Structure 1
């Protein structure tokens, strides 16, 4: 069962990493032109809004999050290396990006007919003051995925030899994405004497969408904290419960293996 869970974690994680990679590429295209980035966005929307893309993306997100809760609950100790702490922090940040993104694009499109393009997205982010947050949230998810893949594949000689190139991709992609987004922001601002109003299809529903986002974030944080508390309580109860010598020996043997 543990082998199956690890494979499910890997497959779902790679799916989310591909999503993030394409998202970063879309932003990076903005270095050349807003129009080129827009074409990339249309391709991404076609991919992820298809029935197959929807199942893959949201199924992978739900599965990966469920497995993360399973891991948090099952931990017997929290003595982790610095790399593991960074990976944990980065991974827990990823759903915050997905929630914001899903509410601002997918939910807004499904409920209110909002069709995103980069000009509308940039205007919305600037007027809401969240453009910096959008950039900040992309990097941790990318870092988490890359570290997870590295920890799985680092024992292969070819992967280990490619470490400098992989490190360049790890650092370079978020930087190119940020540069592209800032270039698009500059292009949108220069196109108008003053920024246009938020898309009218969306303007009247921003408060409702914000409530959706707030409730989903609160649910996410509650699940994380609740699972952590349940795991710590389980560990505390097990520590207070006398154990049979044979059970202790079997547990010690399993730990060594």
Structure 2
């Protein structure tokens, strides 16, 4: 089998894993429309899935693989004249690692290094106290859009996809809206629990500087890799054009 088909299959498989992660994350938030406890039960199930050894390998392995293939695609582009759908998918896809980095540092890394035990109340309080609750919602939606567009572009020629298009559009738009509604409802519940917002988790407070350093360093590394891949590709294209222009 040639490398191109292999990379396409790997991209699809890793993308489906990440889209499943986002789907469950959005559903968890949406459960907050009914109650904080229900969303908390959903979170515990998600933690059991993704924090298990197989789940960890699957999620972070898929993220690393999908990102590596994305860098390869960015480097390999011969031109940047793209249709609007591709620009949207590209923008949305590049936003997804921003969410994963923030989430991994604030929950998984904090749990592994400092014993933080996440639940929705602690997470909501942490986001409110840091003023990043809007960013959390804003980063979930682009990753969802990227994954859904990727699947649509891959399978749009199949009859069942064309027949299901109205339902797929409803899911594409509706799930992030339900997720935002659930998260905002949980925020109101937490804020209404007392006259003042409860203090953030002491574990997160004690190690906030270290976690912020981790987050900043990983975001800088991510930005450097993306910019480096694009820049190296542009330089290669320029050198190739110059070589062809020479007699």
TM-score, reference length from structure 1: 0.94
Matched position secondary structure for 2:80:
coil
Give the distance between the partners of 1:104 and 1:217, measured in 2 at CA.
13
Matched position secondary structure for 1:76:
coil
Gaps of 5+ in 2: none
Q: Which residue of 1 aligns with 2:113?
A: 111
Give the distance between the partners of 1:129 and 1:12, measured in 2 at CA.
32
Gaps of 5+ in 1: 245-257
Q: Which residue of 2 aligns with 1:19?
A: 21
Give the distance between the partners of 1:106 and 1:123, measured in 2 at CA.
17
Q: Which residue of 2 aligns with 1:88?
A: 90
Deviation track 1:1-23 (CA, whole Å, cap 9, x = no partner) reads 10000000000000000000000
- TM alignment of 1:1-257, pairs within 5 A: 1-242=3-244
Q: How many residues align?
A: 245
- Point out the more displaced range, 192-201 or 173-182: 192-201
RMSD over aligned CA atoms reads 1.2
Matched position secondary structure for 1:241:
helix
Q: Which residue of 2 aligns with 1:252?
A: none
Matched position secondary structure for 1:31:
coil
**Deviation, structure 1 residue 161:** 1.1
Larger radius of gyration: 1
Moved segments of 4+, more than 6 Å: none
**Deviation, structure 1 residue 243:** 8.1
**Deviation, structure 1 residue 197:** 1.0
Deviation track 1:49-100 (CA, whole Å, cap 9, x = no partner) reads 0000000000000000000000000010011000000000000000000000
Give the distance between the partners of 1:242 and 1:91, measured in 2 at CA.
33
TM-score, reference length from structure 2: 0.98
Distance 1:243 1:7, change over 3 A: farther
